[in-house]
Amino acid sequence: LTDRPETARTALAAFQENVAARTLALAATGPATTGTNGEPVVGFRAKAEFEGATGAWEYDSTLGVVRGGSGKAVVHWAPAVLHPHLAQGGTIAVKALPDPVSKPTDRNGKPLEGFPSLAAVLPRIAPADGGTVVSGRAVVLSAAGREPEQLYVLTPPSAPQVKLTLDAELQRVAEEAVKQQAAGGKPASLVAIQPSTGHILAMAYSPSGHNRAVSAGQAPGSTMKVVTAAALLEAGVTPNTVVPCKDTTNSPRQWHNDERGDFPSYTLADDFSHSCNTGFIDKGLEKLQPGTLTKVAREQFGLGLEWHIGIDSRDATIPVPRTNDEAAAEYIGQGTIQVNSLAMASVAATVQSGKFRQPVLRDDAKRVTAPGSLPAGVAKDLRAMMARTATQGTARTPMAGLTGQIGAKTGTAESGGTATNSWFIAYRGDLAVAAEVDGGGHGFAAAGVAAAQVLKAGGKG
């Protein structure tokens, strides 16, 4: 019923084949009007239903009416009769939509794109086993020289939701804290963990490329004294036991402290809060057997176990020392110990909660459990010593003004050069943080400032 029946028949047949609607209904939407060229125009509404679609495709259009050769009223044929956006040479067809890419979100469903430290991580996060991508379909108008136009989505595509344990707001603070301390070319990293769950809440590092926050391996300096103190406490030393802090000591290698001088009346708690190397070395060599530190680190803090956090990471290594010099170095976090911010954030979290919970970036990661547990009395003493360090000791400057349950330990690690590496571990309420800055100097300086920024933003008093 058109003025170009063969052209119309071909177009309608192609439309029927390419769109393949289950039903198609046309209904007039009002009396005829006069078009711009003077011919009558009739408005109509099209409604098409499809198998498996979430709804019906409906749209309004118009057609012109002319007198045919016999004088009978017929449709003035044009591609726009099928759809008002269709022009000569265009096609309308149902097409598959591109399969969506799963975009992980934070713990609250917030997007995580735009964070420099996550740019290389997010593309490697796969949906959980059994998660399937649902392909979508849409009615699409295609024409040469223009972008395809989706006229109606029949079935939307969907990808399995992947929620990470990260907190987008805390990640933003961590990124900024690391950026500030990495200015001038100093590599740095920071990891924040929720002690009650082991969830990794933030993970930031600079420069981009190598994720040093979870994949680096380096000596943690005096932050390791938390583990050494745990071993000493379990060996019968108490926080009030007098452990003289000598100006120097020998193992036979000579060791000294940042704070020079002899302090014969210092207790273990004093040595901890002032970060006395000689006291820890002397008491460690006296009370601990070779391999004790390795055992305590593994069985009570999970260091040395094989972690599966949801992405590739490097496990801590605390070798059994072969000589007294090697043992002395390990007691103060030097020598061949290799850890990263992830491992040391977990140490702080273990002290805060009293239990090792393997850190994870996603809840479906397969966790390992420590063979032993941190004795309740040891955990209590460690919290008291870390609290004192945060309020009166070497960590007091960056921790100033933070309220609630707080604890901290500084670390200054020798790296073979003139500049030392800055380390800091701390907790505030249900938030534990570790930060390190290569060449950042004392622990309370660069790393302490970065960690305190995160604790201020996310820790609850």
DSSP label at residue 218: B
- CATH 3.40.710.10 range(s) for the chain read 168-458
* Average of per-residue pLDDT across 347-364: 96
Query: pLDDT tens, 100-126?
Result: 877 899 999 999 999 999 999 998 887
- Over residues 359-380, mean pLDDT: 95
Closest-CA residue to 443 (of 403, 398, 407, 392): 398
pLDDT tens sequence across 49-65: 999 998 999 999 999 99
pLDDT (tens digit per residue) in 141-183: 999 889 999 999 999 998 888 899 999 999 999 999 999 999 8
Q: Is the pLDDT at 461 greater than 60, yes or no?
A: no
What confidence tens digit (pLDDT) does each residue in 175-208 have?
999 999 998 889 999 999 999 999 999 999 999 8
Report the distance separating Cα 85 and Cα 336, nearest Å: 71
pLDDT in tens, 62-87: 999 998 888 899 999 999 999 999 99
The residue count of the chain comes to 461
Burial class, 17, CB count within 10 angstroms (exposed 0-12 / middle 13-18 / buried 19+)? exposed
CB 196 within 8 A of CB 228: no
Res. 287: pLDDT tops 90: yes
* For the chain, percent of residues with pLDDT exceeding 70: 98
Element (H, E) at 277: helix 277-287
Domain covering 5-92: architecture: Roll (3.10)
Instruction: Report domain 168-458's class.
Output: alpha beta
Parts of the chain belonging to CATH 3.10.450: 5-92
Is there a cis peptide before residue 116, judged by omega within 30 degrees of 0? no
- pLDDT tens per residue, range 388-431: 999 999 999 999 999 999 999 999 998 766 689 999 999 999 99
432, exposed or middle or buried, with CB in 10 Å at 0-12, 13-18, 19+?
Answer: buried
Amino acid of residue 297:
A
Q: Looking at per-residue confidence, does 447 or 126 come out higher?
A: 447
